[in-house]
Structure 1
Amino acid sequence: PQAPAPAPGPQAQAPGPQAQPAPFSGFPPQQDGGAAEGVVPWKPPTTDPFLAAAQEQGRPAPLGRRFAARLIDTLALAVITGAAAVPLWGPATDHIDAKVEAAKQSGREVTVYLLDGTTGPYLAVVLAVLLIGGGLYEVLPTVKWGHTLGKKVCGVKVLDIESHDTPPLASVIRRWLVYGVLGVLAVGVVNAVWCLFDRPWRQCWHDKLARTFVAEK
């Protein structure tokens, strides 16, 4: 009798194609053609997140506080300018009175100009004190601390529009010169009220040219 043939053992199978992992899409898996259970579908933001973050770091100050701060600073500048103008007031009025009296004594119709070679330099001195003295009052504290006396009292400060930090010296000087020159030219009222309509940073013209804005502390 022949020995039984050995039972055939398991044969090695040729390796088949390996399953490849699904590529990562960044979105939750979908079930039954809809969103994953308990997952809110992603939606694009409706507002600019960078602008929102910037406003959180430095929000424009309320207009009431800005007005109060400017009023305090204007009174301080008036005191500084008055200290230079008062000593010149007497000589200027005496000179004008003398011109008027001379015109009366002449018996002719004479035009008396209030601004001449004597009173003109007096006016120039007062304007120089206003621009230079006021510039020192505004520029130095703003560069160092970001605020003047009035802004400190009212809780507001001047910031750079991009860095939201204390503005550099060049910007602060430009800011004051534009404000001062526009004020001397009687356009300062329009400059001051421009912040009522400007969005989103409530800038006046001098802020726009200096790339600054007034923020609340």
Structure 2
Amino acid sequence: MSTDQPRPGSGEPPEDDPFLKKPQHPQEPPADSGDPYGGAPRGPAAGGPYGGGPPPGGGPYGGGPYGGGDPYGAGDPLAGMPPLAGRGRRLVARIIDAVLIGVPVGLIMWFIVGGVDYTATNESGRQSVVSGVTMLAYLIYEGIMLTTRGQTVGKMAMKIRVAMLENGAIPTAQAGWVRAAVYTLPEVIPCCGTIFWLLNVLWCTWDKPYQQCLHDKAARTVVVSTA
């Protein structure tokens, strides 16, 4: 008799016994996965919309422009942003800047273009020259101040500053000069320029959520508090 196969009662079943093998379910996960759904990672480390993990950064159209909020726009768009500057403080800052530039430039130009002939025609021409030079001086003043520190003297006094909507940085050269130009230059257009200027400065009273004037929208900036 062959001795290759164990005899009955020996206590060692044959290795090829089909009744003693552990059945393997075709959908059973790997033994070391620890996950009943096939070993896919779950929880905060997984990432993705269903596996947890932090959402991607913000942006002006994806939640807070300073990196907070919901990337699909459902969160607070002001999340992470410094408090927006009050409209009253913005108005006072403009008045300070207008006096700071307008008074000395106006006096200098009065002495330069002034004369003894005060007829209506000469007076109107002189006022146009003074207004044009004052406007140009204000444009240069604001453009330089915004692109170098984000504040004019008036804004420093009122503890507010201009920031890029996207990331809160000091305005870029393009943004600073565009903002200054849209605020200043339309006034040279007779009648319509004054209407546009008034609409521009009032726009922040009803604009949501960033309280932007039209020159802010053109430059993609906001005005925030520094204190």
Q: What's the TM-score, normalizing by structure 1?
A: 0.68
* Higher mean C-alpha displacement, 64-73 vs 149-158: 64-73
Matched, 1:16 2:40: no
Work out whether residues 131 and 177 of structure 1, in 8 Å CA contact, stay in contact via their aligned partners in 2: no
User: Which sections of structure 2, spanning at least 5 residues, go unmatched?
Assistant: 1-6, 30-34, 44-51, 56-61, 64-68
1:24-45 Cα shifts (integer Å, max 9, x gaps): 4847xxxxxxxxxxxxxx9xx9
Work out whether residues 80 and 133 of structure 1, in 8 Å CA contact, stay in contact via their aligned partners in 2: no
Q: What aligned pairs does 1:139-154 form with structure 2 within 5 A after superposition? A: 139-154=143-158
Q: Which amino acid aligns with 2:80?
A: E
Q: Which amino acid aligns with 1:189?
A: L
Q: What aligned pairs does 1:60-75 form with structure 2 within 5 A after superposition? A: 60-75=84-99
Q: 1:6 to 1:173 in 2, by over 3 A?
A: closer
Aligned to 1:115: 121
* CA distance in 2: counterparts of 1:199 and 1:160, whole angstroms: 16
Aligned to 1:201: 210
Q: Which of 191, 212, 215 does residue 221 from structure 2 map onto? A: 212
* CA distance in 2: counterparts of 1:52 and 1:138, whole angstroms: 31
Q: 1:173 to 1:196 in 2, by over 3 A?
A: same
* Higher mean C-alpha displacement, 125-134 vs 18-27: 18-27
Q: Which of 132, 138, 145 does residue 136 from structure 2 map onto? A: 132
Q: Which amino acid aligns with 2:82?
A: G
Aligned to 1:78: 102
The answer to which structure, 1 or 2, has the higher relative contact order (CA under 8 A, 6+ apart) is: 1
Q: Which of 130, 151, 165 does residue 169 from structure 2 map onto? A: 165
* Higher helix content, 1 or 2: 1
TM superposition shift of 1:70: 1.2
TM superposition shift of 1:155: 0.9
Q: Secondary structure at the match of 2:222?
A: strand
When Rg is computed on C-alpha atoms for both structures, the one with the higher figure is 1
1:161-196 Cα shifts (integer Å, max 9, x gaps): 212211111221111111112345322222111100
Q: 1:197 to 1:160 in 2, by over 3 A?
A: same
Q: What's the TM-score, normalizing by structure 2?
A: 0.65
Aligned to 1:34: none
Q: 1:189 to 1:53 in 2, by over 3 A?
A: closer
* CA distance in 1: counterparts of 2:194 and 2:93, whole angstroms: 20
Q: Which amino acid aligns with 2:221?
A: T
* CA distance in 1: counterparts of 2:179 and 2:212, whole angstroms: 11
User: Which sections of structure 1, spanning at least 5 residues, go unmatched?
Assistant: 28-41, 98-113
1:118-169 Cα shifts (integer Å, max 9, x gaps): 853x345323322221122211121111100010111111111212211111
Q: 1:55 to 1:150 in 2, by over 3 A?
A: farther
Q: 1:6 to 1:88 in 2, by over 3 A?
A: closer
Percent identity of the aligned residues?
26
Q: 1:72 to 1:22 in 2, by over 3 A?
A: same
Residue-pair matches, total: 176
Q: Which of 174, 180, 185 does residue 178 from structure 2 map onto? A: 174
